[in-house]
Amino acid sequence: MNRSSRSLSETIRAVGPLWLAVMSSALLAAAAGIRGLPGLLLITIGVGTAVAVFARLRNRQTSQTVVAHDATGGNLQVLLRMIDRRTAIRMFGMSALFIGPMGGVPRALELLAGQQVPEETQSPFSRIRQWAMIIDLRYCDGCQSVGSPPRCTAACVEGHLLPEPMQWIEVFEDELEGEGTRFIPIPCQHCQNPPCVNVCPVGATFSTPEGLVLIDQERCIGCRICMAACPYDRRFFNWGEPPVPPEAHLAKYNLEAQVPALKGTVMKCDFCPDMVRAGTLPYCIQACPNQAIYYGDLEEDIATNGRQLVSMAAFSAEHNAFILKEELGTQPRVFYIPGHGEAVGRVPSRTGRLPTVWPWTRTAPGGDVWSR
């Protein structure tokens, strides 16, 4: 073997194992999504382990390397001695053993260090829900048939601990063409082109990937520009210290539930995403005695009122569903099926409904009272 060949052989012998170890560890770390100090620690351990394995295997010569040396010369002998077929199989086998544990070790290290590890984010390959609501006015009679104020409103008030006079889903009595009336429950419409979001100067009101419009009361400055921009009048302002029951102040603030209410901020219907995520229908749907309200996912094209499952597209098309103030181009997520309660025996000439009642027998000290 000449001097140049010997020099190449010695270089490959010295650098080869370290290069393979570094590249293998880097690829494994990238595949496992390791970052920061835990990732660096694991890569260091991986490099050290791999170098030790390669150093041991390098000193073992097999009959295969001798044959290769006799046939082709020193360079190939060095290469095969460093990484022959058996060595390669062992190397990739060791790599496979590292792939599984490496993904969970950073989380374990963070837990041991007392750091709070957030929940796993949604997979980019999973579907993002697109929440929507269908209200079948054929079954809505303003709760006249059960002799009570609208139960959807009452359940929302009680479930969200709303201060008086807030009615996030309010049942309006609308005059029909000709004569008589119909009842229309109107929550926030969760528009896909929301004027409120477009005008908020601090980004306190925003749209989520699921199509909901939410408010961060801890960011809200109380300018009420969003209230002026809402064409459906579905936003409410806390003009004073909210008159809510004392237990409301025990809750940790969550912008998806908006409890407790905060003075000087805007509130509204949030479509109860926290309840749906937990596998429960929103309060208004659970409380409706006639199952007039459906909650569903446009992405999956399915909706339920708690008893019946329907295709949102087919159900809406079959019954000529409409949206409120379509001419404004706000693209609401609440759809209405025309009717006046006829499916539950109501006649248009039977007018009036009982007023909403706030059930709190006592409120937290310092609560103010105002009218909308």
Structural contact between residues 243 and 360, judged by C-beta atoms closer than 8 angstroms: yes
Burial class (CB in 10 A: 0-12, 13-18, 19+), 129: buried
**Separation between Cα atoms, residue 331 and residue 18, nearest integer Å:** 60
The reported pLDDT for the residue numbered 249 is 84
Listed by start position, the domains of the chain span: 3-112, 131-344
* pLDDT reported for residue 105: 43
Domain 131-344: which CATH number of 3.40.50.300, 3.10.129.10, 3.40.190.10, 3.30.70.20: 3.30.70.20
Q: What is the structure's pLDDT at 223?
A: 97
**Rounded to an integer, what distance in angstroms lies between the CA atom of residue 365 and that of residue 242?**
10
Q: Return the residue matching tokens 């007023």.
A: 355
**DSSP state letter for 250:** G
| Residue-level pLDDT at 40 | 59
Q: Are 316 and 134 in contact (CB under 8 A)?
A: yes
- Three-state DSSP class for residue 251: coil
The DSSP result for 299-333, as a single string, is TTTEEESSS-EE-HHHHHHHTT-B-TTGGG----S
- Give the tokens for residue 98: 């590292």
Average pLDDT per consecutive 10 residues, the chain (372 residues; last block may be shorter)? 52 54 57 55 63 57 43 43 49 47 45 46 67 98 96 95 94 93 98 97 95 95 97 96 87 87 95 92 97 96 96 97 97 97 95 91 76 75
Q: How many angstroms separate the CA atoms of 221 and 265, rounded?
A: 7
